[in-house]
């Protein structure tokens, strides 16, 4: 597939996906949905990928749905948003959550509407100090989608989650980090370097273990402690047979740096 709305590359275990409609703050249209889904499906198949970095081109990360596709002419029929969610945002969020490798959101600027919640669906969110997160949905009569109503109360508690969702105010990156909504806020000029360092670190890490860690934590919210202990047992049983576990133990005992292959 030739991409018109994203940039996508995979090199040395690091996949980089850049939302690339800067003139519309990288908002999503149908083509971008199809292209992002295609890229994520390619990553599912490509075992050389060890980490994914998602960012935005230009001054924004993503402004959610492209609203120019939603303008209703006077007397025209309102759009059916259900199919758009079902075919676009829902599979996108689930694909990010299910990708068996760590996903970094490098939030270079404003992340609004679904754009904010796509960032929050990533495993590690690093934002530039000038970036903001906006649950813009309330400004146009919608509900936070792309997992917003699920993740915000879990990460922030109901008071802050409802404040953000009902008011649609800008949450600065630094406050998002202080509230525990994102991993880190860094100086604007440091974002690329910090993300590169983190991506290189993760690309050399034991990928299968990280994938199971992500899965256990994300799926654990719906389980009892006893059920979760069973899941941990099963994952340890599986990972105990991995090449990376053998390498990790050997490297520790030999007092050397491990060389993980992601297998
Ligand atoms: O429809 C469905 O399928 C249901 C799913 C919905 C999911 C959603 O995401 S709903 C929420 C949609 N997003 C928004 O409501 C955010 C709209 N954008 C904004 O509120 C502001 O643009 C920002 C706060 C994000 C940034 O403000 P600012 O002042 O930095 O930039 P700007 O001047 O508003 O935007 C720059 C350009 O991008 C501008 O175009 P222009 O005037 O230079 O030609 C603006 O129209 C365009 N743009 C920004 N966001 C969108 C957009 N164009 C289309 N759709 C957008 N979402």
pLDDT tens series, the chain, 263 aa: 899 999 999 999 999 999 999 999 999 999 999 999 999 999 999 889 999 999 999 999 999 999 999 999 899 999 999 999 999 999 999 999 999 999 999 999 999 999 999 999 999 999 999 999 999 999 999 999 999 999 999 999 999 999 999 999 999 999 999 999 999 999 999 999 999 999 999 999 999 999 999 999 999 999 999 999 999 999 999 999 999 999 999 999 999 999 999 99
**Within a domain: residue 141?**
yes
The number of folded domains in the chain is 2
**Within a domain: residue 236?**
yes
Q: Clarify whether residues 71 and 179 are in a common domain.
A: yes
Residues with Cβ within 8 Å of residue 57, at least 6 apart in sequence: 7, 18, 19, 20, 21, 22, 26
Indicate whether residue 131 lines ligand 1 (CB < 6 A).
Answer: no
Q: Clarify whether residues 84 and 199 are in a common domain.
A: yes
Indicate whether residue 140 lines ligand 1 (CB < 6 A).
Answer: yes
**Could you list the residue range(s) of the whole structural domain that residue 28 is in?**
6-203
**Within a domain: residue 42?**
yes
Residue 64 CB-half CA count within 13 A: 24
Q: Clarify whether residues 73 and 177 are in a common domain.
A: yes
Q: Whose CA is nearest to atom 53 of ligand 1?
A: 24
Q: Point out the ligand 1 atom lying closest to the alpha carbon of residue 68.
A: 54
- Final residue before a domain boundary, out of 203, 218, 239: 203
Indicate whether residue 134 lines ligand 1 (CB < 6 A).
Answer: yes
**Within a domain: residue 97?**
yes
DSSP-based three-state secondary structure for 28: strand
Indicate whether residue 113 lines ligand 1 (CB < 6 A).
Answer: yes
Give the strands of the sheet with 51-56, arranged side by side: 6-11, 14-19, 51-56, 103-107, 124-128, 184-186
Indicate whether residue 137 lines ligand 1 (CB < 6 A).
Answer: yes
Q: Clarify whether residues 197 and 219 are in a common domain.
A: no
pLDDT for residue 46 = 87
Read off the CATH number of the domain in which 178 is found.
3.90.226.10
Indicate whether residue 185 lines ligand 1 (CB < 6 A).
Answer: no
Indicate whether residue 63 lines ligand 1 (CB < 6 A).
Answer: yes
Q: Whose CA is nearest to atom 42 of ligand 1?
A: 24
Q: What is the pTM of this model?
A: 0.97
Q: Whose CA is nearest to atom 29 of ligand 1?
A: 110
Q: Clarify whether residues 135 and 122 are in a common domain.
A: yes
**Within a domain: residue 263?**
no
């Amino acid at each position: 597939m030739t991409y018109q709305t994203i940039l996508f590359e995979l090199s040395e275990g690091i996949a980089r996906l850049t939302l690339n409609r800067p003139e519309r703050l990288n908002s999503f249209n149908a083509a971008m949905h199809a292209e992002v889904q295609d890229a994520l499906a390619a990553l599912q198949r490509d075992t050389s990928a060890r980490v994914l970095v998602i960012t935005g081109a230009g001054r924004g990360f993503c402004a959610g749905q492209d609203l120019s596709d939603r303008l209703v002419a006077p007397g025209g029929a309102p759009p059916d948003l259900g199919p758009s969610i079902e075919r676009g945002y829902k599979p996108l969020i689930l694909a990010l959550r299910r990708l068996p490798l760590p996903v970094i959101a490098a939030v270079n600027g404003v992340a609004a509407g679904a754009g904010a919640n796509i960032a929050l669906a990533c495993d590690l969110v690093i934002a530039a100090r000038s970036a903001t997160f906006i649950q813009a949905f309330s400004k146009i009569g919608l509900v936070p989608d792309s997992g917003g109503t699920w993740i915000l109360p879990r990460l922030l508690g109901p008071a802050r989650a409802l404040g953000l969702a009902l008011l649609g105010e800008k949450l600065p990156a630094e406050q998002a980090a202080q509230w525990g909504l994102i991993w880190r806020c860094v100086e604007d000029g440091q974002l690329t370097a910090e993300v590169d360092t983190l991506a290189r670190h993760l690309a050399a890490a034991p990928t299968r273990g990280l994938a199971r860690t992500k899965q256990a934590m994300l799926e654990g919210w719906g389980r009892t402690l006893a059920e979760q202990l069973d899941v941990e047992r099963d994952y340890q049983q599986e990972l105990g047979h991995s090449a990376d576990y053998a390498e990790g133990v050997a490297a520790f005992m030999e007092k050397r740096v491990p060389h993980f292959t992601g297998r």
